[in-house]
Amino acid sequence: MSIQLREVSKSFGSFQALKSLNLTIAKGEFVAILGPSGCGKTTLLRLLAGFEQPTTGEICMNETQVAKPGFSLPPEKRRIGMVFQAFALWPHMNVTEHVRFPIRHHQETPPSIRDREQDRIADVLQMVGLSEHGGRMPHELSGGQKQRVAIARAIAAEPSLLLMDEPLSSLDAMLRMDMRREIQSVHRQTGTAIVYVTHDQGEALAMADRIVVMKDGRIEQEGTPQDIYLRPQTEFVAKFVAKANLVRGRWNNGIFVPMSSDGTVQWAGPEVAPYFQACGMYPVRPDQFELCPSGTAGIRGEVTNVQFQGREYHYHIQSEDGTWEICSPLSFRRGDNVSLRLLQTSGSRQEALTR
């Protein structure tokens, strides 16, 4: 199912939670909605689910209008599955019963699935790795297993669209990594379009085909994970997604001279967005700086904080231009004077390397 949002706004009283959103989601696409708390992610998901009506604009599914001001096709008629942060399992039902429920009770379940209920339950439980646990009750399951049941229940009736609202945020860090792979695998096997709400940039970058970054009820930037990470178009995206340091200086014919250098430091920036060139900034990701002993040509700074992270160190470096976050495999101590150089790997080269 493809989805189109045209000029969609949503107000609660005088507060506008969504402002003139235009967004198209292709059939089978995995789209992450990424943004800080309060930017309107859940409101967008609730509009797609049919729990809220838009204040202006329209929502279409396969080019058929499902919502506009004063009209909203109810959730049970939309062929959607939903997974929430809290697993919301029913305490009196075992795993198999959770998966059976939507097959029997969703109005839109295709007869091809209803007629082969047992096979469908077995297929879905296998997809999420719970074949051995069909008889278990929720209190007999771990957090990760509960979330798998919630996913199994959501995909059981073969929805055309799967809505996921921060589905991994109540799991511990290790389990979250496992579940990312599980969700990617479910997406590959079902081919269902997924709209995945998160405030975790790592999750969005790792899983989605496309990321929609939101701020204050608007879309700030949308694109592939590589686009968003390597070619941020605004200060907000550069900071929120790539954790970039915004170095101030002067642009001249595509060459940047940092303010806190003696004028001999010059950086080329073929992929830096026009916005940054216009306001005299260069967004530098923490992994894009090379940290060198003082005396090496570069911007001068002092190490003010060090955190050992295993493969690398995370540093806070105080420069004339402010405090920057930098990661490096080289070891320095707090108080060391250092020089910073830009690693000029172009975005396209980095993309090729990460593929």
Which residues sit at the interface with ligand ATP, rule CB under 6 A? 12, 15, 17, 35, 37-43, 199
Name the helix (H) or strand (E) containing 273. none
| Closest CB 166 distance from ligand ATP, rounded Å | 7
| Closest CB 38 distance from ligand ATP, rounded Å | 4
Taking residue 150's Cβ as centre, other Cβ atoms within 10 Å add up to: 22
Residue whose CB is less far from ligand ATP, 39 or 157: 39
| Closest CB 262 distance from ligand ATP, rounded Å | 44
Q: How do beta strands 193-198 and 161-165 pair?
A: parallel
| Contacts for 87 with CB less than 8 Å, ≥ 6 apart | 138, 143, 146, 147, 149, 150, 170
* Residue closest to 285 by CA, chosen among 215, 355, 228: 228
| Closest CB 194 distance from ligand ATP, rounded Å | 17
Residue whose CB is less far from ligand ATP, 43 or 94: 43
SS (H, E, C) 171-192: CCHHHHHHHHHHHHHHHHHHCC
Residue whose CB is less far from ligand ATP, 159 or 217: 217
Residue whose CB is less far from ligand ATP, 38 or 191: 38
Taking residue 68's Cβ as centre, other Cβ atoms within 10 Å add up to: 16
| Contacts for 189 with CB less than 8 Å, ≥ 6 apart | 127
Token pair of 167 as six digits: 């589905």
Helix/strand/coil for 330? coil
| Closest CB 52 distance from ligand ATP, rounded Å | 8
Residue whose CB is less far from ligand ATP, 80 or 342: 80
Residue whose CB is less far from ligand ATP, 79 or 199: 199
| Closest CB 155 distance from ligand ATP, rounded Å | 23
Taking residue 88's Cβ as centre, other Cβ atoms within 10 Å add up to: 11
d(C-alpha 88, C-alpha 205), whole Å: 27
- CA dihedral sign of residues 59, 64, 69, 75: negative
| Closest CB 86 distance from ligand ATP, rounded Å | 12
Residue type, 228: I
Residue whose CB is less far from ligand ATP, 35 or 102: 35
| Closest CB 293 distance from ligand ATP, rounded Å | 43
Residue whose CB is less far from ligand ATP, 14 or 112: 14
What's the gap between Cα 80 and its chain centre?
A: 20
Q: How do beta strands 161-165 and 337-342 pair?
A: unpaired
